[in-house]
Structure 1
Amino acid sequence: MAKPTNGYLGVTEPISLSGPTEIDVVRTRELEKFLANAGLYPSNDDAVCREEVLGRLDQVVKTWIKRVSRAKGYNEQFVQEANAKIFTFGSYRLGVHGPGADIDTLCIGPRHATREEDFFIELHNMLAEMPEVAELHPVPDAHVPVMKFKFMGVSIDLLYAKLASLVVPEDLDITQNSILENVDEQTARSLNGCRVTDLILRLVPNIQNFRTTLRCMRYWAKCRCVYSNVSGFLGGINWALLVARICQLYPNALPSMLVSRFFRVFANWRWPNPVMLCQIEDVPSLSHTVWDPRRHFKDRFQHMPIITPAYPAMNSSYNVSTSTLRVMTEEFQRGDEICKAMDENKIDWKTLFEQYPFFESYKHYLEIDIMAENEDDFRQWHGWVESRLRILTLKIEKYTYNMLQVHPYPGDFCDDTKPHSCSFFMGLQRKPRSQSDEGEKLFDMRATVEEFKQVVHTYTMWKPGMEIRISHVKRKDIPRFVFPGGVRPQRPARPVRPARSKPSDAATAVTGKVSGVAIDESSERKQVQVQGLHLDGVANGNYLEASEQVEGSSGIKDTDVFSKEAEDIAIKNLTDGSVPEMELPDEIDELQYLEFQGSGKEQGTGNGTGDAAPNALAPANTAHISTVTAPAPTTVTEPSVADGNNNEDGEMQSQISSETNVSSPLKRKAPEELEELELAPTFHGVNPLAAQNTQRKPLRYV
């Protein structure tokens, strides 16, 4: 980790060193009261119980390592000195966990204690014999091998790291890069979570303000349906890194101001400029891959890079797609508008945390139903399918040339009448476009769905009874079990959104259809074009070292004189610059990569926990999964579906059937065989139809 220079934390100077005003103090108290009333803080009894559980677990692993050492023939003196140690990471280590949350833990042992035999067999057997342990479930073939269980009623995720040394000192500092010497990839991935968490706490100016702000942003993200790494949004580590960066930019601000500035900064962030807490360091003596778009081609085309501070630096938000980035950007802009209204005393904190009306926001949805024969099979099947859903989002984006936008719901719904089953949902919406594109209305997703099902069925632990069905559902036909109490709420009157300072910055979605899915021009969600800004990373297409970025002063040093105008100027100076237009790479490479592996805890058997570990770029064990290529749309035998504009919502009467008859799932039409509606604009230049339509403009990535 690069050490702070010039007396400040981060890769640039702070935007403002101003302290809080009386209004900030009052609003912070109101925010803390709101979070407490929402039940986000654990009770004292819960805290005591967790400390007791961790103490008992530490005793268990110390007893375990002595048994292992004795069984391997070491002398008694060595056995008595043998040591293993428990570390925590994630929300518990950051101090933002809530009631009932699990504890992410890491067991670090010496080199003679193996993962395969000693950890997953010997320690597993010890835990299984303890009456305090329940629901013990080892996942040895996951991307990050983990043992899941409940200890005295507290959920535990236990990882294992085998060091290269014979002795594990009690005062071990895992933030030192030397700990990664001569360790295997699984150990490096297991260590990464603890190393990142500890460095985050070292890189923020005020830990208590950081914790309150992070607790607030985590709760907000869950309310607005943008909290889930596995779904393509951001997980716990990602939100922690973003909040930590805002704390660096406003080191003396209270949580109420930090929340407001979080939205102000990231509503205008010019992605894919990276967010970094410190300078990225490379250690030549270690062979781990470090995130660097200058050297690694794939790093140049990630949508929302949020870089981990620990070596090896990597993008913790690799799962973000074009569609999920759009959703999060719009939510950041909504939060910025609300915080500005709060500054004028027009609304309160409750408005910011309103639940996102997912099933009222779109006219069309994909429903993904999965089922299995028993509870164990369903748990494994559920984890695998959930970790693959991002591939469906990417395929839809690719084969519609990003003209169809997807909003995956970060979670599932269960129908009590159907055991061992659940449903996932994705909102569908056509990308806003100009009137010159009025002719393009139809998207055929049947072949895309079939290809995705083939990817899902590469699951090596598949058993009879594990099924997946995908269908198109209109808003009025959403099943009742997704609503609280099974009661469909009445549709409220359409809200009037606050006027924007630049009306040209917003464009409303207009008419389109999706192979039996018609996207009406009355879609509620609006696409907002983000003005080009530059923050903390890429200028003129080149990655900059931190030392280059901090030349000159962009911060406000005078803490006595501070105004909104001065802050805006400081933000503009900090973010001055732009990213040149970049051609999107062929996403077939990324799709093939994802079909081999997911990210974080979702690997292997698919027993993910929702938050991917901050090591998403690390290679996975992919020998057991076959390659599934993803070319252009498939030839289908079903005829096109007629327009259904006469019904209530201007929607179409059809479904994407899971039993679609496809002549060959991987056989493609030649371009000259495709109908007009199956073609869409390319990202550079014009498509074959553009020669006949000179008014059509190519899409560009900005």
Structure 2
Amino acid sequence: MGSEASPSSRQYGLTRPLSLQGPSEADIISTQELNKIVVDWVKQLTRQRGYTDQWSKMLMLSYLLLVHIGLGFDFRNVRMHTKDSRYLNYQEDFFFVLHGILKEMDGVTEVQSIPDAHIPVMKFKFDGISIDLLYASVSRLVVPDDIDISDISVLYNVDEPTLRSLNSCRVADQILKHVPNIEVHFRTTLRCLNFWAKKRGIYSSWRWPNPVMLCEIQEEELGFAVWDPRKNPKDRSHLMPIITPAYPCMNSSYNVSTSTLRVMQEQFLFGNRICKEIELHKAHWPALFEPYMFFESYKNYLQVDLVAKDSDDLREWKGWVESRLRQLTLMIERDTFGKLQCHPYPNAFSDPSKHCSHNAYFMGLQRKQGEVMQEGQQFDIRGTVDEFRHLVNMFMCEGSISLCMRSQMVINVPN
């Protein structure tokens, strides 16, 4: 009986509380303002659609902001869901109308919509806090305040974008149910790996492509495709399958290419060697988190420049272009038959000496180890670059943004 925590001292969620004190007046105001954003948005749309005031009040209960901190990362980055019961138009009302409302608000900055991402998202900062706002259209007349998104019934009759949005939280919840020592070891290890991967320029010794799974793949009768290389031919080509535990089970690393897998394997070996040296007291923990010297690791680089007429247009297109860079990596591997390996750097750069809104992305290029080539033989990827530029420019607004690509030697890359 003495081991039970009192209601006032009980810890909820994964991370320890920043403070045991109640919310400040400023915290309460910020929360109310967040809720007011959604309420005003719904009021505006329901009135335009001719709903009665009584029905509009009922619909207010169907638009909920679900704050999700996920697996315990930085509290300054919050993921939120807007859930509706199918009264709104996904593309127009969420990514256009709500986007415009947010851009006009004081305290809201860096609003960026990425409707074509694998998980469609609207990103912005609210009082300095980074927020990912996802949209989920559930098949219910009214969404209750206490809806449990871990219940599989929430997936009935939803579309693919909603499925992926909901699963971003459902997967995190399932992971926490399948790992031991959540409060101490798991959280610390996860943050350590996240910090290490960021410093080493990768996303994060396993016998790939054997899948990493926390539980058996669950088959349900809802009709959604689950990861299964025996049934789905495209799943057989995945190089680094890490399978999510929530239904429908998917490969969270579907976008790993031959080149990026090589980079991660090299960094896993590096991390393993440093950890062994730490155990033998031959090294210290800071050595594990030393930044990866990306611009000292290759002789040749491919530079992708994104230039916009102003910072708003740059922010609007930045995320979209970044989501397409993986295609460029795959295209280079395809057109060189895997002989030229491509290592994309995960961060963008900007040159303060340039008087325009721009971002530069770099990819390290090198010949595949062990590949025999004739003396003086070079790779010609001009056709690949032109094809990628054409694919991207098809969707860009002419005159507001442009994409330039060029080859760089090591002496011309950022210091």
TM (norm. structure 1) is 0.51
Match status 1:462 vs 2:397: yes
AA at the equivalent of 2:195: Y
Give the one of 213, 219, 223 matched to 1:276: 213
Please say if residues 62 and 84 of structure 2, whose CA atoms lie closer than 8 Å, have aligned partners that are also in contact. Answer: yes
Give the aligned partner of residue 384 of structure 1.
Answer: 320
SS of the residue corresponding to residue 223 of structure 1 reads helix
Is 2:196 the partner of 1:217? Answer: no
Alignment-derived partner of residue 102 in structure 1: 77
For residue 431 of structure 1, what is the aligned residue in structure 2?
368
* Native 8 Å contact 1:224 1:331 kept in 2: yes
Distance 1:118 1:386 in 2: 25
Q: Label 1:390 to 1:81 Cα distance change in 2 as closer, same or farther (>3 A).
A: closer
Partner of 1:534: none
Aligned-residue offset at 1:316: 1.1
Return the match for 2:61 from 77, 82, 101.
82
Residue pair 1:87, 1:107 contacting (<8 A) in 2 also = yes
| Cα drift, residue 351 of structure 1 | 0.9
Alignment of 1:402-441 (within 5 A): 402-418=338-354, 419-433=356-370, 441=377
Q: Is the 8 A contact 2:306 2:401 kept in 1?
A: yes
Is the contact between residue 365 and residue 473 of structure 1 (CA under 8 Å) also seen in structure 2?
A: yes
Instruction: Sort the Cα spacing of 1:336 and 1:51 in 2 relative to 1 into closer, same or farther, 3 A.
Output: farther
The answer to whether the aligner puts 1:473 opposite 2:413 as a matched pair is no
Note the 1:26-175 alignment, pairs <5 A: 52=28, 53-54=30-31, 56-58=33-35, 60-61=37-38, 72-73=51-52, 75=54, 79=58, 82-89=61-68, 92-97=69-74, 101-116=76-91, 119=94, 127=102, 131-138=106-113, 144-175=119-150
> In 2, distance between residues paired with 1:191 and 1:368?
33
CA distance in 2, matches of 1:151, 1:122: 18
Q: 2:286 is matched with which residue: 346, 350, 357?
A: 350
Contact 2:103 2:111 in 1 (8 A): yes
In structure 2, distance between residues paired with 1:411 and 1:139: 18
The answer as to whether partners of 1:224 and 1:353 remain within 8 angstroms in 2 is: yes
Counterpart amino acid of 1:182?
N
Task: Kindly indicate whether the alpha-carbon contact (under 8 Å) linking 2:310 and 2:357 is maintained by their aligned counterparts in 1.
Answer: yes
Q: 1:365: which partner in 2?
A: 301
Cα distance change, pair 42–437 in 1 and its aligned pair in 2 (3 A):
farther
The residue aligned with 1:186 is 161
Structure 1 residue 396 displacement after superposition = 1.9
Tell me by how many angstroms 1:326 deviates.
0.3
Amino acid at match of 1:164: S
- Partner SS, residue 161 of structure 1: strand
Cα 1:383/1:420, change in 2 over 3 Å: same
Change (3 A) 1:340 1:55: farther
Shift of 1:106: 0.3
Please report the TM-score for the alignment, with normalisation by the length of structure 2: 0.83
- Letter in structure 2 aligned against 1:87: L
In 1, Cα distance between equivalents of 2:132 and 2:156:
25
Q: Which amino acid aligns with 1:272?
A: P
Question: Structure 1 residue 132: deviation in Å?
Answer: 4.1
Look up the equivalent residue of 2:294 and give its one-letter code. F
Q: Which amino acid aligns with 2:147?
A: L
- Work out whether residues 42 and 97 of structure 1, in 8 Å CA contact, stay in contact via their aligned partners in 2: no
Distance in 2, Cα, partners of 1:309 & 1:218: 20
Q: Name the stretch that deviates more: 395-404 or 138-147.
A: 138-147
C-alpha deviations, 1:320-371, integer Å up to 9, x for none?
1000100100100111111111111111101111111111111222222232
Tell me if the contact between 2:117 and 2:323 (Cα under 8 Å) persists in the aligned partners: no
Q: Are the equivalent residues in 2 in contact too, given 1:107–1:161 (CA < 8 A)?
A: yes
1:374 matched to which residue of 2? Answer: 310
Indicate conservation of the 8 Å contact 2:58/2:142, yes or no. Answer: no
How big is the shift at 1:466?
3.0
Deviations 1:471-495 (A, max 9, x none): 22222x224xx22xxxxxxxxxxxx
CA distance in 2 between counterparts of 1:322 and 1:42 reads 41
Q: Deviations over 1:418-465 (max 9, x none)?
A: 12122211112212217x766684322222222222222222x33226
Determine helix, strand or coil for the equivalent of 1:367.
Answer: strand
Cα distance in structure 2, aligned partners of 1:176 and 1:143: 23
Q: Per-residue CA shift, 1:155-209, capped at 9, x if unaligned?
A: 3222222221122222211011110112233322221211112212222212222
5 Å matches for 1:469-548?
Answer: 469-475=404-410, 477-479=411-413, 482-483=414-415
Change in Cα spacing, 1:112 to 1:389, as seen in structure 2 (3 Å) is: closer
Q: How far off its partner does 1:220 sit? A: 0.3
* Larger relative strand fraction: 2
Task: Say if 1:321 and 1:72 are closer, same or farther in 2 by CA, change over 3 A.
Answer: same
Question: Matches of 2:389 and 2:17 in 1, distance apart?
Answer: 41
| In 1, Cα distance between equivalents of 2:100 and 2:331 | 43
Contact 2:61 2:144 in 1 (8 A): no
The one-letter code sitting in structure 2 at the alignment partner of 1:93 is G
2:70 maps to a residue whose letter is R
Question: 1:412, 1:424 within 8 Å by CA — same for their partners in 2?
Answer: yes
The aligned amino acid for 1:86 is L
**What CA distance in whole angstroms lies between the structure 2 residues aligned with 1:133 and 1:452?**
34
SS of residue in 1 equivalent to 2:217: coil
The correspondence for 1:204, drawn from 162, 179, 182, is 179
Contact 2:61 2:145 in 1 (8 A): no
Q: Any unmatched runs of 5+ in structure 1?
A: 1-40, 228-238, 240-266, 484-702
Q: Which has the larger radius of gyration?
A: 1
| Alpha-carbon distance in 2 for matches of 1:299, 1:404 | 24
Question: CA, structure 1 residues 324+219, in 2 after alignment: closer, same or farther (shift >3 Å)?
Answer: same
SS of residue matched to 2:212: coil
Distance 1:469 1:80 in 2: 47
**Identity score, percent:** 48
Q: Structure 1 residues 290 and 366 mapped into 2: Cα distance closer, same or farther (>3 Å)?
A: same
**In structure 1, what residue type is equivalent to 2:192?**
C
Structure 2 counterpart of 1:244: none
Q: Is contact 2:344–2:364 with CA below 8 Å preserved after alignment?
A: yes
* Deviation at residue 55 of structure 1 after TM alignment: 5.7
Q: Distance in 2 between matches of 1:329 and 1:455?
A: 31
Deviations 1:498-521 (A, max 9, x none): xxxxxxxxxxxxxxxxxxxxxxxx
Give the 3 Å change call, closer, same or farther, for CA 55–80 of structure 1 in structure 2.
same
Q: Partners in 1 of 2:263 and 2:232 — Cα distance? A: 27
Q: How well do the aligned residues superpose, as a CA RMSD in angstroms?
A: 3.2
Structure of higher RCO (CA pairs closer than 8 Å, 6+ residues apart): 1
